[in-house]
Amino acid sequence: MRDHTPLTIEDFGGYFNRGDPETVPFDHFVEVNNIQFTENGFETRDGIDIYQALGIAISNVLRIHPYTMQGQQSLLVLTVGGNIHHVVSSSVAHLNILQKPLMTDFNVVSWAGRAYITPFFTNSNNQEVGLQSEFLYVYLGAGVPARKAAGNPPTGTPLTVTASGVGFSELGFHLFAVVYETDTGYLTGLGPTVFGSATSTSNTIGFDITNIPVSPDAFVIRKHIVATKFILNYNGDQDGYEFFFVPGGDMLNAVTTKHVDFFDIDLLDEASRLIDNFREIPAGVGLTTYHGRLVLTTTFTDISIAYVSHPGEPEAFDQIDGILIVPLDGNPLTNCQEFRDVLYLFKKTRTIGYSDNQDIPSTWTSFIVDEGIGAPVHGISTVLDSGGVNIDYLIVADYSGIMIFNGGYARPEFSWKIANFWFGLDRTQFRKIELVNDSITQTIYCVLPTGILLVGDYSMGLNAKGVRWTKWSFDVVITSIELINTVTLILGAA
């Protein structure tokens, strides 16, 4: 050592695993575990503790997702056996708010204090698809089990409509029907099976409607009368005419009679669009929002289709006009995300974009972003506790590495320094990868298929050169990760 000149490491660069070990830069480590970075160096990482103060802790966790309630952040936690629990805080939890034994994973979107939940699993082809014969569910946050989103239209005996009573009306023949409204604001299709009809012979009378069906579902809170404008020559096809909400035609669910009056010029709010909506929305894999719409992808039977709801109506999915068909290649859609006013749909090695043209979704034109890079089911980083993206880039996990996406994928890949390590991961298990971006401390956390965390500190620069990598391992197998209340890192463990 007498003639050895010491090397001073002023800025420690973290883990380096690329090429031959002999090529590792002197300011990086060839192996590293359980450290966190300081300004120019490192120290032992912080410890962890049990988050829950419950008598029986929720264990065997498969997936955690944040759920934003009206007044606070909380968590939805899936455990082995297909049980989702609502963890309100460290000391309060509502158990088994959704139970589906075949569910091995799920996605969720928070909307106006509600949680929309889609259960999925891995099929025999090693593909993630929505559970067969299952549906999108809505959870209101109070511990009452989640129920199917959307709902069935009114049924029962036909409406009885008579042109009578003091009021006003357009002369001629009109059709009448009823629409249910649920406690989430969803408007069902038209019913009952046979609509009512009446012919007005005077402008000074209205319409008396009786035999209005009552929904047996407690979540139906109101009903609305809908009607057509004057029909000159009725052809018997009751679904072939345009219906409108009748002004003043709403009532509580228990009410069975109603008097309405209107002129055709008063009928402004169109209701015919409700006829083609899903009564039960099939379960899928991807779930996100775009321009005030809910987006659902990859049902059990339609692996390359995305369903897009009406604006502002997360449970109103048109079975004809609300469909995006991604070019078929035998691979399912795995993820979806809005970014810079564009809806991006991902497969495992493909990225496709759609732009809203202010028309129905089925008219939106797709464009290929990349035919070699995609994302697994949880491979797009959420930001802080938002459960979504709110900064000017995406961090995406792909077979080729962790990538920065800002409308296109930046090269070299963000994980360039650790290419050997990344390529050594089991590609058949990339569904287990999950990313969280703490944009305050400028740290990216990645759950790996091996049950450890890959941690990247990008305070020195959001690029392949500036990021500093380390691995965190624990005495438990980590399966999921989330940030809540901005600064609290929650780890799910098997």
Both ends of the chain: CA-CA distance in Å?
48
So where are the chain's domains?
Answer: 61-150+279-493, 160-272
Tens-digit pLDDT profile for residues 26-75: 999 999 999 999 988 899 999 998 888 777 778 899 999 999 999 889 99
Angle at 477 (CA atoms; ends 101, 69), nearest 5 degrees? 60
Contact 402, 436 (CB under 8 A): no
Asked: is 61-150+279-493 a CATH 1.10.40.30 domain? The reply is no
3-class DSSP assignment, residue 240:
helix
- Span 396-403, mean pLDDT? 95
In the predicted structure, residue 21 carries a pLDDT above the cut 90: no
Q: Closest Cα partner for 403 from 431, 375, 378, 384? A: 375
C-alpha distance from residue 274 to each of 179, 269, 362 (Å): 9, 12, 17
Q: Residue 9's pLDDT band (boundaries 50, 70, 90)?
A: confident
Helix (H) or strand (E) holding 326: none
The mean pLDDT of the chain is: 93
Query: pTM value?
Result: 0.93
pLDDT digits (tens, 9 = 90+) for 298-350: 999 999 999 999 999 999 999 999 999 998 888 999 999 999 899 999 999 99
Chain Cα centroid distance, residue 371 = 24
pLDDT at 200: 95
pLDDT category at 385 given cuts 50, 70, 90 is: low
Rg of the chain, C-alpha, whole Å: 28
Q: Whole-angstrom Cα distance, residue 344 to residue 22?
A: 41
Q: Say if residues 110 and 66 touch (Cβ distance below 8 Å).
A: yes
